[in-house]
Amino acid sequence: MKINVSGHHCDISQSLKDDIQTKFSKIASHFPTLIALDVFITKEHGEFSAEVATKYEGASVAVKGKNAVMYPAISQAVKKLNAALKHRKGQLKGDLHEKPTVTTPEIAHEIIQGMDLK
């Protein structure tokens, strides 16, 4: 899985990139069809935020973690992304099940056709 890391008002060092790679490695093993992640680290008003955006099975998934310290903000974003991807995976699995067929509307239609509504 490819991880693109960019920063706004903060420096992105190689050790930070390595740490982000290790934190997202568990998600990569759980969701093998995930191709790329875009991670944006920003610092505004003394608070760090980590935004993660990706596409998973045809849907865009984006999460955001905030904290006064950078690394807990990244950890929060990892947890939120894992939950969002599990939710999306559940939606996809829910669509695979065969929906029950309802015969009641056809019967009601036949009854109405036979009635004299004048």
**Tokens coding 1:** 């899985």
Q: What pLDDT score was predicted for residue 47?
A: 94
In whole angstroms, what is the distance from residue 9 CA to residue 16 CA?
Answer: 15
DSSP assigned state of 67: E
Position 65 confidence tier, pLDDT thresholds 50, 70, 90 = very high
Quick check: 49 and 73 in contact, CB under 8 A? yes
Mean pLDDT of 2-29: 90
DSSP string, 97-109: SPPPP--HHHHHH
Length in residues, the chain: 118
Residue 9 sits at φ, ψ, to 5 deg, of 65, 25
Those residues with Cβ within 8 angstroms of residue 78's Cβ, 6 or more apart along the chain or in another chain: 23, 24, 27, 52, 65
Other CB atoms within a 10 A radius of the CB of residue 113 amount to: 8
**Tokens coding 106:** 């056809």
pTM of the model: 0.73
pLDDT digits over 91-105, tens only?
777 766 666 666 555
